[in-house]
Amino acid sequence: MKKLFVLTFIVFTINTIAQNKNITLEDIWKNGTFAAKGISGLTSMKDGLHYSTQKGDTIFCYEYAKDSKPEIIIAHQTPIETYQFSEDENKILIASGVEHIYRHSTKENYVVYDRKTKTLTKLSEGDKQQYARFSPDGNKVAFVRANNIFIKDLISGKETQVTNDGLQNNIINGATDWVHEEEFSFSVAYFWSPDTKKIAYYRFDESRVKEFSFNEFNNQLYPKENKYKYPKAGEDNSIVTIHVYDLTNASDKLMDIGKEINQYIPRIKWTAEANTLSILRMNRLQNKLELLFANSTSGETKIIYTETSDTYLDIHQGQGDYVYFTPDNKNFIIQSEKDGYNHLYLFDIAGKLVNQITKGNWDVLVYKGVDERNKTIFYLASETTASDKDIYSVKMDGTGKKKISIMKGTNNPDFSCGMKYYINRLTDANTPEVITINDANGKQIRILEDNSKLVKKMQEFIITKKEFFSFKTSENVELNAWMIKPANFDVTKKYPVFLTFYGGPGSNQVSNSFDIKNYFWYQLLSEKGYIIACVDNRGTGSRGASFKKCTYKQLGKFEVTDQIEAAKYFGSLSYVDKNRIGTFGWSYGGYLSSLCITKGADYFKAAIAVAPVTNWRYYDNIYTERFMQLPQENASGYDDNSPINYVDKLKGKYLLIHGSADDNVHYQNTMEMVNALVKANKQFDLFIYPDKNHGITGGNTRLHLYTKMTDFILTNL
């Protein structure tokens, strides 16, 4: 604990010691000057007393409780990019040659390592596989290839093809389509039953979904056209069905999820009873959720739990398991915002409420797991402030709530099996990640990584603290914010303000965490005389459902109103030049930045919009309709806050940036914005990164991008 305190103190006193170096863009994006260290491949072993990590092509096993010499599980026998153990931990499934497809989806080559015989076996011949997973008994591995599911018997060596109708841009088995992967945050779409006898899987029929295409140039004489199914707001989705494949008789049973095809199945999960599959069903508007139990033999289902909302239901709230089933199959825990804040509720297996586990005017952010032996639940919450993430424990009956994390900031724990220990990743706004091992009461056992080299390196540069504060708007809405002032700040001078934000539903940018991506860029800009600031507008998270959901059916309205209020607030400060306020945002932030420079043109001098949505009609339907309903039902909501419809108001300098191969927010958004600007005879700056996706990364790209944006700010703000 003493060492952790010293690290925090070092960063706190950065401003008080001699600093003479200016940060350069090369330091940030080329030379790795500010690279942080972490731990990769962290996995808790089944005994709950050990954990494994990966360093290069070696996997080590360590004890939680003491700093002993690690066991080497496998070393330099095969390339290792990711790995997973079988349930009995006698085998390891190792992936290499990983190719990313979209945000979560990948394909790779797999080998199986047998720890007893110390042998390596290739999982399958032919093309790369996707989403290989051990069966619970460890004797089989399922995987997806070419949109079909396969099973490899590790004892006999026999490979069985479970489905046969998989077809590119048509039928997908065991994996997700683009929009489900992106908006429901999962890509593995099959699940072994607890007894290894069955596999439940999704089947996506994409045949009626319209295609989107973009060219990939890649220095080719003729560009390659990339086509994939992308359902935009108001358009047809895949038809989803849920199936159970029985390995004993090679039969396939369709689960009854109702006759309605215009719906979503965001989660399926086996209960503790081997023959019962749970299915979450949502209507297309995502304001009604039902938990179904399916008899995996007959396919019959019954509704166990139903919840509705006047706005939308957010199964992303809290991430982690949305539903948890107790091993004795008597209860389940579910998350809900029904009382105005996201909390945990305990139900019996028949769907009757037992008790509300957590209560209060604060949100449970992440459900982390249950210590079944002691009937204790662990979770992250924003109970102290919306900016912090603290670790708590509570009994299943709602008693004995205890805050177990000690240091302020953002905690991100990985608990051991059995929940006896956790490895915590802690940062605050000005401190790089510190990784520690703690017991379940929060007591620190030891430090695994303190990033002391980075902390020491930071002392060589001109760095000032990120400061948190709040202010009230003219509508009496309190908004949270942070600010970075120049190191030589003089209250008698006037400074320009560079306002950065994301602002989308449920997000939280005014977070007491270390933003390794942009922290040093903001410091560079502050060195050059800018105040950097961020304000979380209405619609953002960690402040309850009403604050988050007030933007329903009118995305952009309150967000830009609040950012204009932020400009007014900063402009009222004696040390701010109200005529030099600029904005920067990426994705949703790019949308908001585009609104600020158009709809809020009287308050902003310059704006940078990277990969912006410019009209919600161009974005995918699951995300957009959750907050906006269908365009056919809410046309004015889509149009009233589209920056395309306000280009005639543009006065300041505007820089549009996009990757031409952005599969998420399509390049089309920027092209339509360009058309509108040209039609209105408005001058602007535009830069396109060929073949780059939504992240705009690779090679020298980030250095070039941030050089472009920095030059724009220095010239126009």
Given a contact cutoff of 8 angstroms between Cβ atoms, the answer to whether 330 and 349 are in contact is yes
Check pLDDT > 60 for residue 10.
no
Encoded amino acid at 476, one letter: N
Identify the CA nearest to 483 among candidates 562, 429, 528.
Answer: 429
Strand bridging mode 82-85 / 239-246: unpaired
Angstrom distance (rounded) from CA 316 to CA 367: 11
pLDDT for res 2: 35
Identify the CA nearest to 174 among candidates 152, 148, 153.
Answer: 148
Angstrom distance (rounded) from CA 251 to CA 299: 12
Average pLDDT over the chain, rounded to an integer: 95
Question: Structure tokens of 562?
Answer: 């609040």
Q: pLDDT tens digits for 324-371?
A: 999 999 999 999 999 999 999 999 999 999 999 999 999 999 999 999
Given a contact cutoff of 8 angstroms between Cβ atoms, the answer to whether 53 and 39 are in contact is yes
Angstrom distance (rounded) from CA 302 to CA 397: 27
Given a contact cutoff of 8 angstroms between Cβ atoms, the answer to whether 229 and 223 are in contact is no
Q: Domain 162-308: which topology? A: Methanol Dehydrogenase; Chain A (2.140.10)
For residue 142, the SS3 value is strand
Helix (H) or strand (E) holding 61: strand 58-63
Check pLDDT > 80 for residue 15.
no
pLDDT for res 317: 53
What is the pLDDT averaged over residues 682-696?
97
Q: pLDDT tens digits for 161-204?
A: 999 999 999 999 999 999 999 999 999 999 999 999 999 999 99
Please tell me the least confidently modeled range out of 310-324, 412-426, 567-581.
Answer: 310-324
Q: What are residue 501's phi and psi, to 5 degrees?
A: -160, 165
The tally of CA atoms less than 13 A away on the side-chain side of residue 641 is 22
Encoded amino acid at 525, one letter: L
What is the pLDDT averaged over residues 514-530?
97
Identify the CA nearest to 344 among candidates 353, 354, 352, 334.
Answer: 334
Confidence category of residue 4, pLDDT binned at 50, 70, 90: very low
Strand bridging mode 606-610 / 576-586: parallel
Q: Which strand ranges, in their side-by-side order, compose the sheet holding 50-55?
A: 40-44, 50-55, 58-63, 71-75
What is the pLDDT averaged over residues 617-622?
98
Check pLDDT > 80 for residue 682.
yes
Chain-centroid distance, C-alpha 243: 28
Check pLDDT > 90 for residue 19.
no
Check pLDDT > 50 for residue 318.
no
Check pLDDT > 70 for residue 681.
yes
Q: What is the 3-state secondary structure (H, E, C) of 246-311?
A: ECCCCEEEECCCCCCCCEEEEEEEECCCCCEEEEEEEECCCCEEEEEEEECCCCCEEEEEEEECCC
CATH 3.40.50.1820 placement within the chain? 467-716
pLDDT for res 103: 86
Question: Global pTM?
Answer: 0.95
What is the pLDDT averaged over residues 215-236?
95
pLDDT for res 1: 36
Whole-Å CA distances, 476 to 315, 470, 471, 473, 569: 30, 12, 9, 5, 13
Angstrom distance (rounded) from CA 112 to CA 134: 10
Angstrom distance (rounded) from CA 660 to CA 215: 8
pLDDT for res 9: 37
Sign of the Cα pseudo-torsion (589, 593, 596, 602, in order) = positive
Angstrom distance (rounded) from CA 140 to CA 130: 15
DSSP string, 409-442: SEEEEEEPTTSSEEEEEEEETTEEEEEEEEETT-
Strand bridging mode 140-145 / 148-153: antiparallel
Phi-psi region of 314 (alpha: psi -120 to 50; beta: other; left: phi over 0): beta
The pLDDT > 70 percentage for the chain reads: 97
Confidence category of residue 5, pLDDT binned at 50, 70, 90: very low
Angstrom distance (rounded) from CA 47 to CA 381: 28
Dihedral angle, C-alpha 340, 344, 345, 347, nearest 10 °: 150
Neighbours of 432 (CB within 10 A): 25
Helices (H), 599-634: 621-628
For residue 678, the SS3 value is helix
Confidence category of residue 316, pLDDT binned at 50, 70, 90: confident
For residue 580, the SS3 value is strand
What is the pLDDT averaged over residues 231-240?
98
pLDDT for res 425: 97
pLDDT for res 484: 98
For 467-716, CATH gives: 3.40.50.1820
pLDDT for res 322: 87
Question: Structure tokens of 140?
Answer: 């089989």
Angstrom distance (rounded) from CA 426 to CA 414: 12
267 forms beta bridges with 280
Question: Structure tokens of 195?
Answer: 């007894």
Judge residue 164's burial from the number of C-beta atoms within 10 Å of its C-beta, 0-12 exposed, 13-18 middle, 19 or more buried: exposed
Confidence category of residue 296, pLDDT binned at 50, 70, 90: very high
Confidence category of residue 320, pLDDT binned at 50, 70, 90: low
The pLDDT > 90 percentage for the chain reads: 95
